[in-house]
Amino acid sequence: MRAAWGCDEAATRPVFDIGCNRCLGHDPDCELCGGINRVPQHRCPTALMGEATPLDRMSVDLLMRSYIQLDSRSVLPVAGGFLDQTRGFAAACEIIDSERGRIEQIKADAREREQRAAQARTKQGRR
């Protein structure tokens, strides 16, 4: 299972994908996504963080904690408004929000498929 999820080395198939932070899917010639705004990842996110430098791990941890404060309490990391925040924080918020939106859309699509399947089963039961 560890090999399939890319825990110890790159998996043969993508484990998950992320939005393209280079072109956001607007450049058909983008080397990362080819204009589809999805970049396949072949390593487990935890493994990727394990390979990062201590400074990078600390930066990601602080960034995520700041995002959680914004999301749950509407508290920004720096005094002022959103435009007063660092470019890095603003960019991270865009990426995180995009991924959260994508996950919510996947969940909504799954719920809709389940509802259609339940309706089809109900119709079959009436016959």
> Tens digit of pLDDT per residue, the chain (127 long)?
889 988 999 999 999 988 888 888 999 999 999 999 999 999 988 888 888 899 999 999 999 999 999 999 999 999 999 999 999 999 899 889 988 988 899 899 999 999 999 999 888 877 6
Residue pair 58/36 in contact (Cβ under 8 Å)? The answer is: no
The SS3 of residue 42 is coil
Residue pair 95/19 in contact (Cβ under 8 Å)? The answer is: yes
How far apart are alpha carbons 112 and 124 in whole angstroms?
18
For residue 24, give the DSSP letter. T
Residue pair 19/93 in contact (Cβ under 8 Å)? The answer is: no
Predicted confidence at residue 115, as pLDDT, reads: 95
Q: Which amino acid is it at 64?
A: M
The pLDDT tens digits for 77-93 are 999 999 999 999 998 99
CA–chain centroid gap for 15, Å, is 12
Predicted confidence at residue 116, as pLDDT, reads: 95
